[in-house]
């Protein structure tokens, strides 16, 4: 008889920039029979809620994380076995790390004893970090033990793991150790990322009630998506010098075309031809003409992107989501409208997958649907631009000695002034205006 297999269920990769998940709810309990591809657990990231399915058939032997826990990608969360009575396996070993990170893991302990970090001091100084005297962390046969998230943070700050004193099991370097290191060696005494969210206010409690400057208040904890959005907004403003330019666009030709094609499009594709689709198509046109708006900044390098991936903000019951239309470089208007309708439906039904909300190179938001004339939105990092669309307004226009009613709206580009100057932003908006006003 062949030996029955045990399987470890790990947190899978959730897409670009996602390093951890929060366990929302377990959909199966210990002892349950599991079929391949059965949803096992619902998790939440800073981008989307989703389910993790079982890649194996068997029984759910053990659950290692409780609801509400925050767990790193590649961390063991459950055990599945073909044997219902299999013994519980041990937690994930320290050495289970992604293979592609081993180059940075195996640093010679002997060589480090008499050296400071081998990272360029100028790079550290740019982040406000002074080189300290060497402090020992856990080293096993040349391997410095650290969590995956700690390794990523150390790389982001150009910190050698050998300089960080680990507080985890057997001296393992953790996320908290990296944060402590940065704070203690920063000339600006950088606060924790979570402390960047809001300025603390001093309240007074009296007779089971809470007051702020004499006004009674009701304290409500932020939802996860609201807190993560707030943290992202604060981080973006601290990262990019924001500037906004606004231009007015005559949409008469676009609206005439939309009216003529709306019914035919609906019957053919079972979805509506929306005004936002025209703005996405116009943005694709403008981004091809102005590639500096379709880039990111990495230190003193500019990363120009081949693909044009448009993130479109969608309001949902749980908060704002930004699903991404991928590889739109050659999309027709119809293709844009169909893909947009699909993503909006998934967003509002909480069916977005992790890959649906990552990889954006430019974003669009449409507060005009609520009557807003214009806006100054926050850039979605690591992008360098976001387009806002204002509401439609009617105005008489003189054409060939006749007064006609035309529809206008204001559109604004909020841009990262490190890489885009005022002239470039104005030309980008001019390209969008040209596309829309001459649409036929």
Task: List the catalytic residues.
Answer: 417, 421
Q: Which of 54, 17, 21, 51 is nearest to 35 (CA)?
A: 54
For residues 265 and 272, give the distance between their C-alpha atoms in angstroms, rounded to a whole number.
7
CB crowding 49-87: b at 16 or more within 10 Å, else e: bbebbbebebbbbbbbbeeeeebbbbbbbbbbbeeeebe
Q: How far apart are CA 294 and CA 289, in angstroms?
A: 10
Residue with tokens 């389910």: 51
**Cβ(313)–Cβ(320) below 8 Å:** yes
Q: Which token pair is 75?
A: 């961390």
Quote the crossing angle between the two packed helices 148-156 and 175-184, to the nearest 10°. 30
CA distance 363 to 296: 13
The position carrying tokens 């210990």 is: 30
Residue 164 CB contacts under 8 Å (≥ 6 apart), including other chains? 135, 137, 150, 154, 173, 177, 178, 181
Residue 215, classed as helix, strand or coil, is: strand
Residues 6+ apart with CB under 8 A from 426: 245, 247
Query: What are 431's two structure tokens?
Result: 């390209």
Q: Kindly list the distances between the CA atom of residue 216 and the CA atoms of 42, 202, 204, 209, 297, in Å, as whole numbers in the listed order.
A: 38, 13, 9, 7, 45
Three-state DSSP class for residue 259: helix
Q: 3-class secondary structure for 357-394?
A: HCCCCEEEECHHHHCCCCCCCCCCCCCCEEEEECCCEE
Q: Which two tokens stand for residue 284?
A: 């694709």
């Amino acid at each position: 008889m062949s030996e029955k297999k045990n399987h470890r269920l790990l947190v899978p990769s959730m897409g670009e920039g996602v390093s951890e998940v929060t366990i929302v709810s377990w959909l199966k309990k210990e002892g349950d029979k599991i079929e391949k591809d059965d949803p096992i657990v619902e998790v939440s990231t800073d981008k989307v809620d989703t389910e993790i399915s079982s890649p194996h058939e068997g029984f759910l032997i053990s659950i290692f994380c409780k609801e509400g826990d925050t767990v790193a990608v590649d961390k063991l969360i459950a055990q599945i076995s073909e044997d219902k009575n299999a013994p519980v396996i041990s937690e994930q070993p320290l050495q289970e790390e992604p293979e592609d990170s081993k180059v940075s893991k195996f640093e010679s302990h002997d060589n480090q004893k008499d050296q400071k970090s081998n990272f360029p001091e100028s790079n550290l100084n740019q982040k406000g970090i002074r080189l300290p005297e060497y402090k020992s962390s856990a080293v096993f046969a040349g391997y410095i033990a650290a969590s995956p998230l700690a390794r990523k943070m150390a790389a982001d700050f150009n910190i050698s793991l050998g300089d960080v004193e680990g507080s985890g099991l057997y001296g393992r370097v953790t996320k908290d150790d990296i944060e402590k290191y940065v704070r203690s060696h920063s000339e600006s005494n950088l606060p924790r990322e979570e402390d960047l969210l809001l300025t603390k206010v001093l309240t007074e409690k009296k007779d089971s009630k809470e007051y702020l400057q004499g006004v009674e208040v009701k304290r409500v904890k932020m939802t996860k998506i609201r807190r993560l959005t707030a943290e992202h907004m604060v981080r973006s403003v601290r990262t990019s010098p924001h500037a906004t330019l606004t231009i007015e666009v005559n949409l008469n030709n676009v609206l005439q075309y939309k009216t003529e094609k709306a019914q035919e499009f609906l019957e053919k594709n079972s979805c509506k031809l929306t005004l936002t689709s025209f703005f996405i198509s116009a943005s694709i046109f403008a981004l091809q003409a102005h590639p500096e708006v379709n880039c990111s900044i990495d230190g003193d390098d500019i990363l120009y992107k081949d693909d044009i991936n448009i993130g479109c903000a969608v309001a949902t019951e749980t908060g704002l989501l930004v699903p991404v239309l991928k590889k739109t470089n050659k999309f027709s208007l119809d293709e844009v409208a169909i893909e947009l309708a699909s993503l909006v439906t998934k967003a509002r039904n909480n069916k977005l997958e992790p890959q649906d909300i990552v990889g954006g190179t430019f974003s669009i938001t449409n507060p005009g649907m609520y009557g807003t004339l214009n806006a100054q939105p926050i850039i979605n990092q690591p992008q360098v631009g976001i387009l806002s669309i204002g509401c439609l307004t009617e105005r008489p226009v003189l054409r060939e000695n006749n007064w006609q009613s035309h529809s206008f709206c204001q559109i604004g580009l909020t841009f990262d002034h490190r890489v885009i100057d005022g002239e470039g932003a104005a030309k980008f908006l001019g390209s969008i205006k040209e596309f829309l006003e001459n649409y036929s």
